Amino acid sequence: MDGMDRIREKRSLWKQKKFWFSVVAVLFLIVVITMLLRKNVSTVRIEEEKISISTISEGIFNDYIRVIGSVEPIRFIYLDAEEGGRVEEIVNEEGAIVRKGDVIIRLTNSNLKLNILSTEANLAEQINFLRNTRISMEQERLSLQRQLLEQDYEIIKRKRAFEQSERFYKKDIISKNEYLEATELYEFAVKNRQILAARQKTDSTLREVQVSQMEFSLSRMNTNLELVKERLENLQVKAPIDGQIGQLDAEIGQSIPQGQRMGQLNDLSGFKVTAKIDEHYIDRIKKGLESSFTRQDKNFAMVVKKVYPDVREGTFEIDMVFDKDVPDNIRPGQTYHVELQLGQPETALLIPRGGFYQSTGGQWVYVLTDSGSEAVRRQVKIGRQNPQFYEVLEGLKPGEQVITSGYEMFGDNERVVFK
């Protein structure tokens, strides 16, 4: 029994030794494989002084972009030719300050002047015709009135003759035929008077209608003449508001067709700042966003007034207006570096801006190992960005260090070893 117990102890000890030998062998194999794999990882060696290394930090991310804004008048009005003509005189040149109603350009149009003369002649002819018609109507009215007067007198005579004949007939002094003749003459005179009265009424109505039509026609011709004279006045291109003449495209002797644009007038009562923005931000830029810039150590606040929807050559435009204060001596054409706020400040993981983003698109970075002697590639996720930082969404922790300079010199290598 004792001998058998000793044999079991030897076998158990052998099994334990065999287990530990196996563990050591596996660990050794892992180390060897790791070293072999490490040697096979693509590597580039670079002097540390030639790169920029930044530390990942947690802080406040200010969601804004910096754009270049150009000062423009708050509005401008186009100067279009309301009437075509030849440029006779340029009264105020480009850049001149003008008041409302000041003449900027004078045009001349011979056909329009002839048109006015022709309209005036037609109007005079129409006035004379109306005058003559009125005289003729008045003469006819007087003639008809005289006829009525004569007919009234005729009725009086015929009535007296009729009454006399009636008395004589009753006394058998005259024949029945003479009595009937006197009666018929009297009745005829009365009916004739009625016809003349009806004619007078009809003629009076017709005269009123005819005169009214002629007066209306005369009024239309007067209106026509006024319109033609207004067209003549439109040959003087005047300033519709107080302002400064912008670009002016007109030369002495040049023929300007109706509707052609000759320049613009800038309204200097206010100013706006326009900026072109990368189309990447088109969904985030909205009316009412705040912006600002600093000039002579003073901050000037603005708000986005208008967002133009058209995208041209990868950019779109916005208009910003001053919220309160306006810089002194502001002039159209001046440029400012404007900070446009896209959202509220938030706590985030930050990585300083650098050339690495252009090479990787923010999809991966070189992260330094704990020893600091090398850096390895790591997949990351970058979110928003401002002129100072990128927002890190995934793949990095506070305190880690990454290479933020450009990656062009590293090629496609996965590991960077510092010399």
The pLDDT tens digits of the residues spanning 382-398 come to 998 888 999 999 999 99
Phi-psi region of 262 (alpha: psi -120 to 50; beta: other; left: phi over 0): alpha
Mean pLDDT of all residues in 221-233: 79
Report residue 32's pLDDT band, with 50, 70 and 90 as the boundaries: low
Mean pLDDT score of the chain:
86
Question: Does the pLDDT value for residue 34 go beyond 80?
Answer: no
Look at residue 400 in the predicted model and tell me its pLDDT: 94
Name the E strands within 228-358. Answer: 236-238, 243-248, 255-256, 261-278, 290-295, 298-307, 315-322, 335-341, 346-352
Look at residue 53 in the predicted model and tell me its pLDDT: 93
Question: Does the pLDDT value for residue 4 go beyond 80?
Answer: no
Look at residue 122 in the predicted model and tell me its pLDDT: 82
Question: Does the pLDDT value for residue 167 go beyond 50?
Answer: yes
Most confident of 11-20, 207-216, 254-263: 254-263
Kindly compute the dihedral angle of the four CA atoms of residues 267, 272, 276, 278, in this order, to the nearest 10 degrees.
-150
Angle at 13 between CA 11 and CA 17, to 5 degrees: 115
Which pTM was predicted? Answer: 0.55
What are residue 75's DSSP bridge partners? 267
Mean pLDDT of all residues in 327-351: 90
Look at residue 203 in the predicted model and tell me its pLDDT: 82
Look at residue 3 in the predicted model and tell me its pLDDT: 45
Report residue 2's pLDDT band, with 50, 70 and 90 as the boundaries: very low
Higher pLDDT, 6 or 27: 27
Report residue 419's pLDDT band, with 50, 70 and 90 as the boundaries: confident
Look at residue 12 in the predicted model and tell me its pLDDT: 59
Helix (H) or strand (E) holding 194: helix 176-233
264-341 is a CATH 2.40.30.170 domain:
yes
pLDDT tens for residues 70-98? 998 988 889 998 888 899 999 999 889 99
| All structural domains of the chain with their residue ranges | 41-60+346-418, 111-233, 264-341
CA distance 285 to 41: 45
Mean pLDDT of all residues in 184-196: 90
Identity of the amino acid at 148: L
Look at residue 111 in the predicted model and tell me its pLDDT: 85
Look at residue 9 in the predicted model and tell me its pLDDT: 52
Residue 258 token pair: 């109706």
Report residue 17's pLDDT band, with 50, 70 and 90 as the boundaries: low
Tell me the C-alpha to C-alpha distance, in Å, between residue 24 and each of 21, 30, 32, 33, 34.
5, 10, 12, 14, 15
Mean pLDDT of all residues in 203-224: 81
Query: What CATH code would you report for 41-60+346-418?
Result: 2.40.420.20
Higher pLDDT, 267 or 2: 267
Look at residue 119 in the predicted model and tell me its pLDDT: 79
Mean pLDDT of all residues in 308-325: 92
Other Cβ atoms closer than 10 A to 131: 11
